[in-house]
Amino acid sequence: VQFTMKDIDRLSRRVPVLCKVAPSVADVHVEDVHRAGGIMGILGELDRAGLIDTSVSTVHAPTMKDALDRWDIKRSKSESVRTFYRASPGGIPTQVAFSQERRYDELDTDREKGVVRDLEHAFSKDGGLAVLYGNLAQDGCIVKTAGVDASILKFSGPAHVFESQDAAVDGILGGKVVAGEIVVIIYEGPRGGPGMQEMLYPTSYLKSKGLGKACALVT
């Protein structure tokens, strides 16, 4: 299958951001997404926006349309489906599935200001990913724009280079990174890592030090 980074960029520019979850926003978690209809709720909004082909088959329904007719809370008439999506956190540490019966009183069906938005009220009209090209990434790189505050989508400053995630963490927590700098972490790609860590620690520590909107991060 010929699918390149240019295809990712092309699709992202057409598909809006309809849902944001922590750490992109502080107070929305996966249980809140579930209460708003979960992935099927998001797919339902993409369908109403005319952005997906619902004639394709799925592993759990003859077609995507059949799946959405049953599981999209904005169109399903099933009371059992609505009960399913009202599941709330039990507050009981356990690894046993379906071991509690706590439910929210109501579903989150607010598509204007709720957790899942419709096309008209999307967080942004284009997607949460952008492909950039430049001297640092001649073959392209990915920016998760959905997780970047709008105030720093354009950023310039001196580069502070670290040769590992651990070194970057030490620099951030040790006060060596200051506002206005671009934190650059090298040798953490698929070959250099090895593997490909998410760099969650540097991101979290930048935010905890009040630098979330004052520094940029390049990995």
| Residue extents of the structural domains in the chain | 1-15+128-142, 18-121, 148-218
For residue 90, report the phi and psi dihedrals to the nearest 5 degrees: -85, -20
| pLDDT confidence of residue 94 | 83
Contact by Cβ (8 Å): 45, 117: yes
**Angle in degrees, CA 196, 171, 164, rounded to 5:** 25
| pLDDT confidence of residue 49 | 97
Q: Who's near 170: CB < 8 A, 6+ residues apart? A: 176
Q: Alpha helix (H) ranges present in the chain?
A: 5-12, 30-35, 38-48, 64-71, 79-85, 165-173, 200-208
| pLDDT confidence of residue 123 | 93
Q: pLDDT in tens for each of the 219 residues of the chain?
A: 899 999 999 999 999 999 999 878 889 999 999 999 999 999 999 999 999 999 999 999 999 999 999 999 999 999 999 999 999 988 888 888 778 889 999 999 999 999 999 999 999 998 889 999 999 889 899 998 888 888 888 999 999 999 999 999 999 999 999 999 999 999 998 888 778 888 889 999 999 999 999 999 999
pTM beyond 0.85, yes or no:
no
* Separation CA 184–CA 211 (nearest Å): 14
Decide: helix, strand or coil at residue 25.
Answer: coil
* Separation CA 106–CA 86 (nearest Å): 7
| pLDDT confidence of residue 15 | 95
Contact by Cβ (8 Å): 81, 71: yes
Q: Which helix (H) or strand (E) holds 134?
A: strand 130-134
